[in-house]
Structure 1
Amino acid sequence: MSFMLPSAPSGTRSVVGVADDLCAALRGESATLPRAESAVLVVIDGLGAISLRGHAGHARSLTAAMTKKDIAQTVFPTTTAAALTSLTTGVWPGEHGLVGYRVRDPERDILVNQLSGWETDGLDPLTWQGAPTIFERAAAGGRATFAVGLAAYAHSGFTRATLRGATFVPAATPEERVETAYALAEQHPGALVYCYLPEVDKAGHKHGVASAEWVAALERIDGALSVRVPPRVGVVVTSDHGMVDVPSHRQVVLEAEHLTGIRHVGGEPRMLHLYAEPDADAARLTVRLRSDLEGVADVVTRTEAVQTGLLGPVVREDALRRIGDLLVIATGVRALYDGTAEDQRNRGMIGQHGALTPEETRVPFLRFGAFAS
């Protein structure tokens, strides 16, 4: 098998460079953004560009000036842990090391949750994610930096891994978060402000994209972002990934015979990390799984993933050891489960992400305020 990365539309920017571009705009040195006195990065978790365009009538503030070029390409895996970290560090998953949702800690030979398991799984945010954040870099240059989000996230391990260097400011509703972010940008000239809106992602997981609940969440976010941007403040609105709906009849449960020779199943249903037993024949395992999952998923070896740049141009040694021996990337509208009790609990999710479809990889890149000129 010769694996090839799906191509992005010509000229599409990557989310990896967004935060650094904002800082360059504050210095008047960005090649793509006008100069601004302060900058706000708004991340709408789980909002793909295709889904947004398909529901433009429910998001008129967001899509009023949206063109075909107003998109960005997110990273792989298309999951929150990997993509949000790339947005806030400016490096690819192979460099910051958060290469999926659940991965193996090679030192302890256990699976760890890189989104919500920092405390329970014993991960040190300062060492497990070692890349400096954009907030640390901006603060080192004398800029005020803020992160506006839900109070529940203020002291989480994921926040300390990805937002360190920023002063966390809690706000309860989407409207309050946007208003707070804009006020901070206006009150602190030269500031870099991050604003996180998870409502669309949560509605999509529970009810599905285009459900009444998802549409209501999108409308609320759109309303929150319809307020006036303060003078000389530039705003970029983007996302970490998109989402597809996976109905129950498209869910594939891997049986024991499929997982023979597999020690751990990590990742998430649309992108599994498979870790082989130490004595497994890797070549035979790869051939068997490719045959078993033909038409359901692409099965990519760790070596192929690195050689094709799937996780970025640089893969550090510590990140390399966290990547599965095999990556199982769902094709079409499918999700794969390993049949364990823990995994079965996740089968209630309708909206899912992690793979390489355009719905998951293409996200909006919208400019407002000083950046719209």
Structure 2
Amino acid sequence: MALPRDAVVPDYGDGGLYGLVASFRAYLQGRAWTPPSNGAARNEDANRSLVFLLVDGLGDTFLQRFGTGSTLLAHRTGHLTSVFPSTTASAVTTTLTGLAPAAHGLTGWFVHDRRFGGVLAPLPMLVRGNGPVEGLFPLQRLFPYQTLFQHRGRPASLIYPHYLAGSPFSRRHSRGARVAPYTGLDSMVDAIVRELQSFGTQSGYVHAYYPVFDALSHTHGCESSQVIARFQRIDASFSRLLERLQGCNCDIVVSADHGFIDSPPQQQVRLEDYPDAKRLLNTPLFGERRAAFFGLRPGAERDFKAFSDEVLHGKAVLSSSESLRQSGLLGPGKPHRKLAERTGTHVLLMEPGWTILDRLPDETEHAMLGVHGGLSPQEMWIPLICARC
């Protein structure tokens, strides 16, 4: 299938986030942890604890451009690809389950699921433009898979911001692990240290999630002064963490779920500006602004392709969703039984810097300068940072 220019294809082996999580799964089952990109296994101490700090949105391109002199860059050992789509809903779910997007079925911030009202956002559990998700056993039916922690051989702790720790999504995806909430960067460092100490003489796994970098990148842009300042605070916290964990016999891994690219207003395509094209769709857009899935009305494919060729040339690549599913971009594993519905009939893969969006009646639009979900190097490459204490 055709791809946007400079596209980075996700690596579902040792060169990607999926492979990194596979190494965490092996560790939780009792094996020594070895970075997946090291190739042949080394003779490691299986009694070392392991800390994984996921900084939402910290792309490798950003780290190398703005991280000069930072502790994080000093401990960078390489880079990995995100999954596709390169977005929180898809990638964070992979880090909590070990499943690729094809298998867990979260193919973007928005997914299409007729059982729960059409287009919905599974992380906040909201139907697009229509309030909370309702229905019989929605969590069990939306997230039918097991977590990474339900068949572990070591203790495991998840460290979440206090406002996310008790959310339905977090509760469902933390089964098998202890959840420790925190209220800021200093509190997060304290929680990591406290959870490691709680393991006593055992070795265990701590997964800490930090979302503020992502939120600031969306609002202010991925190279804004606000984002750079936040990175510096994160780096200072990482330095403090290393100091506090010296001699504790643990490995620390820092990475991300995706990177960022900016999409200014002049590079935003709004379907409301093209009502004739919008009428060809039988669903709203779902997935991501940088990788938009949708369903076309029967017989509308030729007309929509003409629209794409004329209006979206140089802005997006149109593909059938069947081609995308067969391409392997969504990763390995048994396909989720709703995968065909979650990917629609077609997908628009946006060129670097471009986004596409629509708006439903009574829907509050969220302005975003920084975006992700696509295949550009800025979105797909994430850092691999490793330290030993």
**In structure 2, distance between residues paired with 1:122 and 1:79:** 24
Matches within 5 A, 1:74-153: 74-108=82-116, 110-117=118-125, 120-122=132-134, 124-138=138-152, 141=153, 143-153=154-164
Given the two structures, how large is their TM-score scaled by the length of structure 1? 0.89
Question: Which residue pairs with 1:290 in the alignment?
Answer: 308
Residue equivalent to 1:169: 180
Aligned residues: 361
SS at match of 2:343: coil
Q: 253, 258, 277: which is aligned to 1:258?
A: 277
Cα distance per residue 1:36-77 (max 9 Å; x no partner): 5211111000110001111013x611011324xx11111111
Give the Cα separation in 1 of the matches to 2:118 and 2:359.
18
Q: Distance in 2 between matches of 1:283 and 1:224?
A: 52
In the aligned structure 2, how far is the partner of 1:212 from the partner of 1:108?
40
Matched, 1:274 2:294: yes
Supply the AA of the counterpart residue of 1:248: P
- Give the one of 52, 60, 79 matched to 2:70: 60
Residue of structure 2 in register with 1:242 after alignment: 259
8 Å Cα contact 1:286-1:299 kept in structure 2: no
The percentage of counterpart residues that share the same residue type is 26
Instruction: Give 2:212's aligned amino acid.
Output: E
- Which string of whole-angstrom CA distances, capped at 9 and with x for unpartnered residues, describes residues 253-299 of structure 1? 1221222221222123212111233xx22542552353132211111
Gap change, CA 1:89 and 1:169, over 3 Å in 2: same
> Match of 1:193?
206
Partner amino acid for 2:312? L
Query: Which residue number in structure 2 is paired with residue 42 of structure 1?
Result: 53
Find the partner of 1:17 among 9, 14, 19: 19
TM-score (structure 2 length as normaliser): 0.85
The one-letter code of the counterpart of 1:306 is R
What residue number does 1:333 align with? Answer: 353
SS at match of 1:20: helix
1:165-212 deviation digits (Å, cap 9, x = unpaired): 221111101121123113312330222111011111011011111211
For 2:338 and 2:266, how far apart are their aligned partners in 1?
A: 38
Which residue is 1:320 aligned to? 340
- Whether the aligned pair in 2 keeps the contact of 1:75 and 1:361 (CA below 8 Å) is yes
CA contact (8 A) 2:2 2:317 kept: no
Q: Is the 8 A contact 2:116 2:134 kept in 1?
A: no
Taking only aligned residues, the RMSD between alpha carbons, in angstroms, comes to 2.5
Query: How many Å separate the matches in 2 of 1:50 and 1:184?
Result: 31
Residues 274-327 of structure 1: per-residue CA shift (max 9 Å, x gap): 1233xx225425523531322111112111111101211232222232212111
CA distance 1:50–1:160, shift in 2 (3 Å):
same
Q: CA deviation at 1:25?
A: 4.2
Which residue pairs with 2:318 in the alignment? 299
CA distance in 1, matches of 2:180, 2:234: 19
Report the Cα distance in structure 2 between the residues aligned to 1:266 and 1:173, rounded to whole angstroms: 32
